[in-house]
Structure 1
């Protein structure tokens, strides 16, 4: 099954996007990765994406990247297309960019040289360690501490829900360096694995399997060269990194919704009931029409947000207008995708809940996107505050 391509002709995209998209779709359709073991599959996807040049879109050209700077529209195309074929492939790709984003934005030349080219080739697997047991949406409440030591820094605390946990070669880790300063007292560090004082063995099992773990730091000694950016500048780095990738989360949801829609259309054309095809019933046609409209609405908001970050001089990265646009995109795309996939599953009847059916796995895959990188409720607060301003 092949994803649609007509959307890339929209004016949000440039010539190089329109050239890349069909090449990526053809490549993704040819991949055959055994995803029975999610950790082994993730390693396989990173190796393939690196070998064939797709991870080059996760880093800038100065360090082996495909483009001069990180380009949100390219990330959108990549994540939408990969998620259409395999949400785990999308996960593997996205974490390379998210896990190395702070180094791209604020790393020293030495850090960038050490990590970014290896990310682009798939030689190093990256991770982004921000969330804690009591600090998810409320980042300022994090309890992990980094204190100065004779060797540089000492890290103590716990991070959880860490994607690529116990799989990554390095973790960009956020910790309090000024415990009384809230979000203004957070710094970022790059922690190589394995590392004395770091225990990443506590795997987390979720309903849509992918590599997750809890990280425990106990007197983990870090050198002075592990600080990413400035002391107490970590919150800004984290938010800037998430800013780049927020529209791409919407794109991943969009890719899953498009796949569910394609599966539903195929089912409607093939399934016979009461002497005719399921597609011949007006209720089926109405349901497909609703799914199509939900997808189109999400797509327009997603592409607009990515375009604003890349191109708009007055509403681009870091502006309140972009923040609201990205929130609208993530909220609408993830919530709409959940509805589309649910409707697709319903169209399959009993088969829809059978393990092994694509719509069944999509039903599990989509659920976490409404939570991570800014839950739907957080996006609603962003939009509400923007309206009141």
Structure 2
């Protein structure tokens, strides 16, 4: 057996997922409103047992799920992936109380999760984030009392002054450490409609990646407001404003000042599966192109008879299969606890997302104007395929990670 061929049971499961996506999930996706959480779709993912597999399966199974769902219903794939991205830090780093409260609801599809890392000034450079977690005992230094947070919804961003010397990990006189979150998150999938957020905030000013803490923040916390953003991608993306939002040590995921590890550990798992999402889209575009070029009459024959066309189709297939194998290799490395996971994950995401962009674009070219008509599969894929080259680390960031890992390994010899 070759290194990354799938077992018959895995192939059968992938076929079953494609059928479920086409017959049960796609109709629900069609009823959803672009830019908003489709709770009926998420609930169906839960009833099918797919959300539960996010926390019981390995990275390769996650990739197989995402690739198979993406082939037939990108909306279902994205809904599943966002549940996993937002809730995985709770599964991997949460306390027993945090897991007991949220994971059963995420698994059932009755609670929507979100991963809140990006900010207006800290997208690709996640270590530069500025959302402040200021010790509550020191809130008076910024002109705020412990009751300053306002409940309800507001369209105005927080305007709190910045404090460069706020103490870290200060405990309130009557209990555990308490902070107030002040600042903004932006380009957050599922915001502002999620039920809870995994939020990364700066607890130690000037410490870079070493001064970030991950918090589990329920959406109903006083001072937390949000708004949707009108984006090309059809799934919900929004901004969150934190106006002295209260959090305590009970809300910390993992350890204080070690939240960057939580973020990177989550991304190392999900980056190969972003590649799997891209492979699923590329395969759908390739299959549509095979059908179209085999049946389309042009220049006295079929389109497939033109060498210029057949060679492009061959190139599409070649790149798609290469990307698939790299995704499977990266996922297998993650499951085997390979120390080379960061490099492999970055390579898989980079190759697969860039490949999908090429394959979908070529498919549109070979279909002609019909592919750009609203409602056509390729029109849909053309909008969907662009974002994965940016989120969870843009392609340029992945190249930086790969180079950094290569040089570190070379220096260690």
TM-score (norm 2): 0.85
Instruction: Report matched runs for 1:130-169 at 5 Å.
Output: 130-149=117-136, 150=172, 152-169=178-195
CA distance in 2, matches of 1:340, 1:51: 33
Would the aligned equivalents of 2:4 and 2:328 in 1 still touch at CA under 8 Å? no
Deviations 1:57-77 (A, max 9, x none): 122xxxxxxx3xx41011101
CA distance in 2, matches of 1:220, 1:324: 36
Indicate the SS of the match to 1:348: helix
CA distance in 2, matches of 1:379, 1:72: 19
Instruction: Report matched runs for 1:68-83 at 5 Å.
Output: 70-83=57-70
Would the aligned equivalents of 1:208 and 1:361 in 2 still touch at CA under 8 Å? no
Aligned to 2:362: 343
Would the aligned equivalents of 2:87 and 2:114 in 1 still touch at CA under 8 Å? yes
CA change 1:147–1:116 in 2 (3 A) is same
Instruction: Report matched runs for 1:172-187 at 5 Å.
Output: 172-187=198-213
Unaligned runs of at least 5 residues, structure 2: 137-171
Indicate the SS of the match to 2:191: coil
Residues 1:37 and 2:30 are matched in the alignment: no
CA distance in 1, matches of 2:249, 2:113: 20
Tell me by how many angstroms 1:12 deviates: 5.4
Would the aligned equivalents of 1:35 and 1:41 in 2 still touch at CA under 8 Å? no
Aligned to 2:48: 52
Residues 1:306 and 2:331 are matched in the alignment: yes
CA change 1:221–1:45 in 2 (3 A) is same
Tell me by how many angstroms 1:41 deviates: 6.0
Would the aligned equivalents of 1:165 and 1:215 in 2 still touch at CA under 8 Å? yes
Would the aligned equivalents of 1:42 and 1:89 in 2 still touch at CA under 8 Å? no
CA RMSD, aligned part only?
1.8
Would the aligned equivalents of 1:254 and 1:299 in 2 still touch at CA under 8 Å? yes
Instruction: Report matched runs for 1:70-109 at 5 Å.
Output: 70-109=57-96
CA distance in 2, matches of 1:374, 1:136: 8
The partner residue of 2:21 within 17, 28, 45 is: 28
Aligned to 1:250: 275
Would the aligned equivalents of 1:187 and 1:234 in 2 still touch at CA under 8 Å? yes
Aligned to 2:252: 227
CA distance in 2, matches of 1:130, 1:100: 13
Aligned to 1:3: none
Unaligned runs of at least 5 residues, structure 1: 1-7, 60-66
Tell me by how many angstroms 1:40 deviates: 5.3
CA distance in 2, matches of 1:217, 1:303: 39
Runs of 4+ in 1 over 6 A off after TM superposition: none
CA distance in 1, matches of 2:35, 2:379: 21
Tell me by how many angstroms 1:209 deviates: 1.6
Residues 1:275 and 2:262 are matched in the alignment: no
Would the aligned equivalents of 2:133 and 2:180 in 1 still touch at CA under 8 Å? yes
CA distance in 1, matches of 2:14, 2:278: 17
Tell me by how many angstroms 1:307 deviates: 0.6
Would the aligned equivalents of 2:202 and 2:213 in 1 still touch at CA under 8 Å? yes
Tell me by how many angstroms 1:387 deviates: 3.0
Residues 1:322 and 2:341 are matched in the alignment: yes
CA distance in 2, matches of 1:322, 1:39: 33
Aligned to 1:195: 221
Tell me by how many angstroms 1:16 deviates: 5.5
Tell me by how many angstroms 1:15 deviates: 6.5
Tell me by how many angstroms 1:330 deviates: 0.7
TM-score (norm 1): 0.90
Does 35-44 or 212-221 show the bigger shift? Answer: 35-44
Would the aligned equivalents of 1:159 and 1:216 in 2 still touch at CA under 8 Å? yes
CA distance in 2, matches of 1:383, 1:46: 34
| Bigger Rg over Cα | 2
CA distance in 2, matches of 1:10, 1:125: 37
Residues 1:363 and 2:382 are matched in the alignment: yes
CA distance in 2, matches of 1:386, 1:173: 27
Tell me by how many angstroms 1:9 deviates: 9.1
CA change 1:267–1:131 in 2 (3 A) is same
CA distance in 1, matches of 2:186, 2:37: 22
Would the aligned equivalents of 2:15 and 2:68 in 1 still touch at CA under 8 Å? no
Tell me by how many angstroms 1:361 deviates: 1.4
